Amino acid sequence: MIRVLPILLAVAYALAMYRFSAWRTAKELDARSTELLDPALKNMSDKMAGALDLPRIRVHIYEIEPVNGLAAPDGRIFITRGFYKRFKAGEVTAEELASVIAHELGHVALGHSRRRMIDFSGQNAMRTVLAMVLGRFIPFVGVWIANFITTLLAARLSRGDEYEADAYAAALLTKAGIGVEPQKSLFRKLEALTQSNAGNAPAWLLSHPKTDERIAALEKLEARWQRQIDD
């Protein structure tokens, strides 16, 4: 029991930290967001709501400048003020912004927030076990190796979630009559919009797949759907 105690404590600590982070995020979003009321975007969200047999899809603006979209742990969907400004400036179309909303809806519908909580707890436990085992054979360096391995695992799991949310968004956009092309065109703009240097980072350390890989996955999905129609 004594040997297992550090692992149990690591899991409990991870769960507590995740719940605290979710609570703090919700408070921040409550304080710094308003409902998005834009006729062009409402037209897009109404199309997606119809495809999902929902009365409406409520989207909020999060009052920060970085270009991003996010799904809160409680299921709310947010577009940042910075992203909305790019839309108003004509740098992003309503259909492209709709693809962001669809992607975040995918995270909610697929239960990624709950999965992240479980994964985070498991990763914390694994980090503790690896640090204990490796620390016996390679002191000091063992802890670094344990952190590195769990970071790789977290990045891989996160990329998997992004691919799943992309596929969900593609299906929803297609059913809503918007199509997948706006999703792909936004991906091509994304690095410039976010001023990201992710293209220079090793792929195995990224929490999101690279742009060309995401587009390729969507095109593969479209080809599969087309074969199903032809058959």
How far apart CA 54 and CA 57 sit, in angstroms, is 7
Q: Which residues contact 7 (CB under 8 A, 6 or more apart)?
A: 125, 128, 129
The answer to whether the CB of 170 falls within 8 A of the CB of 154 is: no
Burial of 195 (0-12, 13-18, 19+ CB in 10 A): exposed
How far apart CA 18 and CA 71 sit, in angstroms, is 15
Provide the residue count of the chain. 231
Burial of 4 (0-12, 13-18, 19+ CB in 10 A): exposed
Q: Which residues contact 132 (CB under 8 A, 6 or more apart)?
A: 6
Give, rounded to a whole angstrom, the gap between the first and last alpha carbons of the chain. 58
Q: Is 147 helix (H, G, I), strand (E, B) or coil?
A: helix
Comparing 143 with 1, the larger pLDDT belongs to 143
Mean pLDDT score across all residues of the chain? 81
Token representation of residue 132:
């204990």
Q: In this predicted model, what pLDDT tens digit does every residue of 187-229 receive, in sequence order?
A: 999 888 877 544 444 443 455 788 899 999 999 999 999 888 8
Comparing 130 with 45, the larger pLDDT belongs to 45
Q: In this predicted model, what pLDDT tens digit does every residue of 163-192 receive, in sequence order?
A: 999 999 999 999 999 999 999 999 999 888
